[in-house]
A and B are shown apart, each in its own frame.
Chain A
Amino acid sequence: MDFIVKIAEGFINLFQTGADTFIDWMGSIVPLVLMLLIAMNTLIQLIGEKRINKIAQKSAGNPLLRYMVLPFLGSFMLANPMVHSLGRFMPEKYKPSYFASAAQFAHTSNGIFPHINPAELFIFLGVASGIQQLGLPMTDLAIRYLLVGLVMNFIGGWVTDFTTSIVEKQQKVKLSKKVHIDG
């Protein structure tokens, strides 16, 4: 009989541990992320999408603007899925590179600005919850994540320019480097 009770206790214990973790997060992470989300959503609404589109149009010519400044601002302003829509202002040749960079900004900035990609927040939070458990501040990690991302995502976008050239040769096609915007 004792044996069965032990097993039952162990079984419930699995869920109790999970429940403790869950309610801990509900009390700490959820309110914080919620407040950030509200503030960021408001800010984005007030600034408006038109302005970021204008920046996008001007950024197409320069790699530094194209793969660092624009995807950073774009992911902040338009958040995860829609940041990729800014790629329409790029010449065909640079669209893959812009995608490569923007997709990574949807993660590296996510530590400080969780509104960018709330659905995949746990890439950061999963690791960061360990930091929190040790009683260390998560922000240090989030800031370094963002800064390293800023540099490496830019390099990522740039490297994609070269891989695109290689694939172009493989497939024997040439992608246009000219911007054409139809509205």
Chain B
Amino acid sequence: MSKKVEIVKGSGGFGGPLVIGVNGKKDKVMYVTGGHKPDIVDKICEITGASAVNGFETSVPEDEIMAAVIDCGGTLRCGIYPQKGIPTINIMATGKSGPLRQYITEDIYVSNVDVDQVSVVEEEADAEDATFAAQEVSPDESEKESEQQATYSKDKKIMETRAAQENKSLLTKIGLGAGKVINTFYQAARDAVETMLHTVIPFMGFVALLIGIIQGSGIGDLFANIMSPLAGNIWGLMLIGLICSLPFLSPLLGPGGVIGQVLGTLIGVEIGKGNIPPNLALPALFAINTQNAADFIPVGLGLAEAETKTIEVGVPSVLYSRFLNGVPRVFVAWLASFGLYK
């Protein structure tokens, strides 16, 4: 009855193959996909006998989660569950990206998964597999931890030994201090370049291509005809804000902020062409983002170590408050835009 599934990456996906099955308390497949239930969740549950839980409506203790199914385009969620040691299945084709990309590894993460990528594992080595799978997660984690600790303590030891060895003369103190500051700068630069390379520049490429296609093909004029009357005055912007903040729509528009970023780019193009007055850029920034993080509520509350009860109350509560706030935000931003670029 407790069969295992093997999940391989789809074309263009990353990671895997993962072999997962029910293991003791870990018998829940949690899906955090803005409300709808992907087909693969049903298939995985059918094969393994696990139960499906909508992570968007309720939360599950981490030690009961067998696997997490997400639809993250590369901002945050794709790293959060791997960071916690939970096998993660992404239905989007996202690879290693986002601020938590270092946790996204082949042995715990697989992406671009559809129903066809999920298959039953032959039962023969069931017991072996189970222990193996169970072990696989934990030593991995501890390995990572010990690795991190090792480098950390190494790093510190050099400093410490140096600091302890010599009778800290003023010169040594200055040397140690300067070394620390310079190291911090250097590490900061490394992190920043990493972020630019893996997160900002890829998105720039995507947006630039989009702009090229819009402007070069003449679709731009079509867009201008639709967007300018809509985004070119405060009522249209408030309408955009209203639509984006509808509680049943906002979680679907949220993932990765992609919709907001594309809308922002379209409006930016029209501002650049002079079809939309530049001072409306301010209310536009608020209008395209009234759905801000609506898909992220359970995860964010999870980071705040909220209780299950709180998450169940918090999700609808924040969705309602986004809805109540959305249009007034746009309106206040419009008031604040008087005198901008005049």
Contacts and interface: CB of A to CB of B under 8 A. Distances in A.
B188 A38 contact: yes
Interface string A43-64: 0011000000000000000000
Q: Which of A40, A84, A134, A155 has the most CB of B within 10 A?
A: A84
Interface in A1-24: 10, 13-22
A130 B318 contact: no
B278 interface: yes
B125 interface: no
Contacts of B265: 122, 126-127, 129
A155 to B, nearest CB: 7
B208 A18 contact: yes
A136 B278 CA distance: 9
A147 B329 CA distance: 12
B150 interface: no
Contacts of B328: 152, 155
Nearest to A132: B272
A140 B325 contact: no
B226 interface: no
B300 A140 contact: no
B246 interface: no
B298 to A, nearest CB: 10
B38 interface: no
Interface residues of B, number: 92
Given A107-B292, A133-B272, A81 B303 contact: yes
Given A45-B187, A145-B282, A95 B314 contact: yes
A102 to B, nearest CB: 8
Contacts of B313: 96, 164, 167-168, 171, 173, 175
B212 interface: yes
A79 interface: yes
B264 A122 contact: yes
Given A10-B216, A33-B196, A160-B321, A103 B264 contact: no
B213 interface: yes
B166 interface: no
A82 B257 contact: no
Contacts of B266: 126
Given A79-B99, A130-B268, A92 B310 contact: yes
A141 B204 contact: no
Contacts of B188: 37-42, 45
Interface in A151-170: 151-152, 155-156, 159-160, 162-164, 166-168, 170
Contact of B264 (A38, A124, A144, A148): A124
A17 B266 CA distance: 15
Contact of B212 (A16, A107, A128): A16
Contact of B201 (A30, A97, A156): A30
B208 A152 contact: no
B264 A126 contact: yes
Given A84-B303, A131-B278, A14 B99 contact: no
Given A106-B293, A120-B260, A160-B318, 19 more contacts: A20-B212, A21-B212, A41-B192, A80-B99, A92-B307, A96-B318, A99-B318, A122-B264, A123-B257, A123-B261, A125-B268, A126-B263, A127-B268, A128-B268, A136-B341, A140-B341, A156-B329, A163-B317, A167-B313
Pairs A-B, 4 closest by C-beta atoms: A18-B212, A87-B304, A130-B271, A126-B264
Interface of B: 74-76, 80, 98-100, 181, 184-185, 187-189, 191-193, 195-196, 199-201, 203-205, 207-213, 215-217, 256-257, 260-274, 276, 278, 281-282, 284-286, 288-289, 292-293, 296-297, 300-301, 303-307, 309-310, 312-314, 316-318, 320-322, 324-325, 328-329, 332-333, 336-337, 340-341
